[in-house]
A = this chain, B = another copy of it.
């Protein structure tokens, strides 16, 4: 199952299954997010949802994406100050970030093995491991 053949009914079910009250705004935002195969910023999501006529405010986009993230429906990826991507792929994986173009590309978990993990401080547990490999165009000397 993946990013094709999403429809709003299916988004509604996913939200309900996750314990999120599926209001119309949330379904719209979820549909924009899941039906896209890309990594979108909050700004881009709002533009897609509001493409025809105003449906949601920016505040609602942020609040909703935060809510989704709390229910593991989306993953936040931070690459630059003030630049957060929302990744509908929530399974463990990592990212290439193209500094020049601003594009973000998945790295399957299997392609990047972390060898030794450091000892954790007592009474703590890992919430998430973020690996971002920043790439730039090779300099032409």
Interface residues of A (CB under 8 A from B): 76, 78-82, 84, 96, 98-99, 107-108, 111-121, 123-139
Q: How far is the CB of A28 from chain B (nearest CB, A)?
A: 22
B136 in contact with A125 (CB, 8 Å): yes
CA distance A107 to B129 in the complex (A): 13
DSSP class of A's interface residues: helix, strand, loop or mixed?
Answer: strand
Q: List 7 A-B contacts (CB under 8 A).
A: A78-B78, A99-B127, A113-B115, A121-B135, A123-B137, A127-B135, A129-B134
CA distance A99 to B70 in the complex (A): 14
Question: Which residue in B78, B96, B125, B136 is a CB contact (below 8 Å) of A138?
Answer: B125
Question: What is the chain B residue whose CB lies nearest that of A107?
Answer: B118
